[in-house]
Amino acid sequence: MGILSLITGKAGPSGFGSGSTAELVTAGVDACRLTVIVTGGASGIGLETSRVFALRGAHVIIAARNTEAASEARKNIVEANPKARIDVLKLDLSSLKSVRAFADQFNSMNLPLNILINNAGVMFCPFELSEDGIEMQFATNHLGHFLLTNLLLDKMKATAKSTGIEGRIVNLSSVAHHHTYPNGIDFDKVNDEKIYNDKMAYGQSKLANILHAKELSRRLENEGANITINCVHPGLIMTNLMRHSFFLMRVVQFATYILWKSVPQGAATTCYVGLNPQLKGVTGKYFADCNVEKTSKFARNDVLAKQLWEFSEKLIKSSK
């Protein structure tokens, strides 16, 4: 989608565009048989995603680090929609221990799992290592979701097989995946504070989201699993994700105000890819404004995707 389409909201091949909202792209969808997990589902576009999935009848699990805020979000959604089915579980994606605990708790609930929305993240934060000794943006945006997805895959496969309903995984990436380190993923320097650049580190983590989806899509197709995985760029939205560079982003927003979206518009692509029936069987793609978009050269690199998968597995094993 070009700049003109972004500004005007002109619809693309899907019938939707930058001006479409999450409610619009899911209109008429009956999700009452579906269970969905939304990471970071208590604020910003994650909250809107949770609200709209619940509005369409899905059983929503809000996975959040701040369970108090998540419970308040649940309360507000239920007040507006008394039929909403929403549960809250604690999840800190920067902690692999927390990810494992979340997966154990969810699996113990004996619920099906149809859809996983890997939405939560951090952006442009100062250099910091997670409790597992991994750079915070890479740990939270990629590695936590990588482990979470792997731990929930068996549940998703079993659900898809028993119900005949296609499972869907959605990774929230960003156009920022174009702006990363010279090698795409600096495997040997992920935790190197000397070369750390908050913007490039964010781009690296968003590139990792796409490469993760690319490799997992290949594996699921080879296995014949009835599960798709795709990535989305939600667009420019002012949310708490930008708290580490709030003043800078306000200046950028002022200069480029016509390109920015509302939260309901920002959640549209996630909800479209997660729920819209016209995407049945579509996997391994990257969407922006509810249409397939071209990725960077690094994001199309099969070798880099496999290398990232192996690197991620090693990091997880070393954390035990």
Question: What DSSP designation does 131 have?
Answer: T
Measured torsion, CA atoms of residues 129, 130, 133, 135, in degrees rounded to the nearest 10:
-50
Strand order in the sheet with 167-172: 85-90, 59-64, 35-39, 115-118, 167-172, 227-233, 286-288, 291-292
**Cα end-to-end distance, the chain, whole Å:** 43
Pairwise CA distance, residues 271 & 279, whole Å: 11
Structure tokens belonging to residue 199 = 């913007």
Pairwise CA distance, residues 105 & 178, whole Å: 36
Among residues 145, 140, 120, the alpha carbon closest in space to that of 44 is found at 120
196 as an active site residue: the answer is: yes
Q: Hey, is 274 helix, strand or coil?
A: helix
> 20: Cβ–Cβ under 8 A, 6 or more apart, which residues?
9, 11, 265, 268, 272, 289, 290
Q: Of 181, 196, 257, 272, which is the active-site residue?
A: 196
- Give the amino acid at 221: E
> 49: Cβ–Cβ under 8 A, 6 or more apart, which residues?
22, 38, 41, 117, 119, 267, 270, 271, 274
Structure tokens belonging to residue 11 = 């619809």
Pairwise CA distance, residues 191 & 246, whole Å: 25
> 128: Cβ–Cβ under 8 A, 6 or more apart, which residues?
135, 136
Pairwise CA distance, residues 311 & 201, whole Å: 16
CB atoms within 10 A of CB 8: 13
Residues acting as catalytic residues: 196
